[in-house]
Structure formats: C-alpha cells, structure tokens
Structure 1
C-alpha cells in the first residue's frame, strides 16, 4: 500500500491516476527546489509526470532540468507517496503517485525552461516547513534525519 498525504478523495469524484517523479537535490545543508509561480506560488520538489513510453529515470532528468535548469547525477529511489488533488493547469482531478528520488545536482545549464518555474536553493530545515505539500515535506524531513 502506498502512503497517502493530503486531502481524502471525495466520494463519487473521478480521479485520473498520474505517475510522476520528484527529486531531493541536496548540496550541503540546502536543497534545490522549484517555485511554481502560477497559479501559486507553490514551493515543490522538482519533478513531474512521466510521459508515455518514457522511463522514470529519463523523466526525472528531463523534469529537473525543465523546472530548475540543472543537470543531475546518481538518482536513487527513496520512496513513494500519493495524493489526491486538483491540477488547474490540466483542469483535472488527479491521483498523483509520486516516485521520490535523491540525486546529486551537478551543474546549472541555464534558467528553467518550464514556464512559471524558478529554481530556489533553500536550507533543508526551512524546506521541511515551507514545501507546498505534505508528501514533499515528509521526504525532506526524512532526508534531514539521514534517510
């Protein structure tokens, strides 16, 4: 069973399952995060949906680059959670299955290419309280405690 964070699904509402990959990207005492400014602002672990035919690792590299402008190395899966939420950018109620990886941020290649996203370095202790969803906060807390 996959641990659920956030809102309880509403009875009778149809949710579309969306599997995505998200990254804990530590450097020293900080994490590289993304801030989605529209419709937000919402502070998040960088990541997103896996496209049809795409491997989770390829999707992780693509999504982190799109949302932060950084390349990464050595991804290792550390857990999974799910949450039920409305995704306004897709006008969709979704059951998001979030595969969480830890990876090493290697090099900033440029600004984020995903519209309305900004790369943010934040102290991990602060991120534990400021990330926009409970699942992201849970995995940041696990990382802070030595995961």
Structure 2
C-alpha cells in the first residue's frame, strides 16, 4: 500500500491521476531544493525538485528535465527510494489531482545556470532543516528518513 499525504479524499470528487518524479539532491550535509513562487500560489513553496511526467515521457528523462528547469543543475544517476500519493488542488492546471510521487535520491553534479522556469529559485538548505521547511508532508517524510 502506498502512503498518502495531503488533503482528505472526497469520494464525490474526481481526481485526475498525475504521476511525477522528485529527487532529494544531496551534497554533503546540504540539499538542493527549489522555491516556487507563482501568481496562483498563496505563498512561496519550498519543494524537492521534480514534477509531472508528460504523456509519452519516460520517468527518468522527465526527472532530469524537471531538475534542470527548476534548479539549473544536472545530477548523477538517480536511485529510486520510494513512492507516495497526494490528493491536492493544482492551481496551475485548475484541477484536483491524485499525484503519484516517485522519490529518488541523487547528487547534483554541474550547475549550468539559473533555473529555466522563471517562478523557481534553487536554494541550498542544511539537510537537518529541510523537513521543517518543505511545503508538503510527503517530501518532508522522505527527507526525514535520511536523517
């Protein structure tokens, strides 16, 4: 059974399945996270880099693409460490989603510049501080499991 985080599930609501891949990028005792600040967000969110897998896209290429878009970094070969589900409203898509979040661990290898997505900022955070800073409980639980 996959652990669930996020909003309570409303049996009367339709949730669109949204698979995604996310990564814990560790360099020493620091993690590379992304801060997303968009027009449709109430406040900035600190997140693991990653995101949705587009139709026809494979999971690892999607993860590498998302990391580049959100951080400007390349990473080593990611290692899958688990999966969880979140039932959330996605304002950018104006829909309720059942996010199936596959979590990886890797090391950042090369910074090629600023994030490609203008509403993201890459930040280094001490690993011990990251669980309390992350905006969703699923990401926080996976990072906490490394401590």
Q: TM-score range by the shorter chain?
A: over 0.9
Structure 1 CA distance for aligned equivalents of residues 5 and 78 of structure 2: 23
Which structure carries more helix by proportion? 1
Provide the TM-score with structure 2 as the length reference.
0.95
Q: 2:146 aligns with which of 127, 138, 143?
A: 143
Q: Which runs of 5+ in 1 are unaligned?
A: none
RMSD: 0.8
Structure 2 CA distance for aligned equivalents of residues 133 and 94 of structure 1: 15
What are the equivalent positions in structure 2 for 1:14-25 lying under 5 Å apart?
14-25=14-25
Q: Which runs of 5+ in 2 are unaligned?
A: none
Q: 1:69 aligns with which of 68, 72, 77?
A: 72
**1:119 and 2:138 aligned:** no
Deviation for aligned residue 1:64: 0.4
Residue-pair matches, total: 144
SS at match of 2:18: strand
Structure 1 CA distance for aligned equivalents of residues 127 and 93 of structure 2: 30
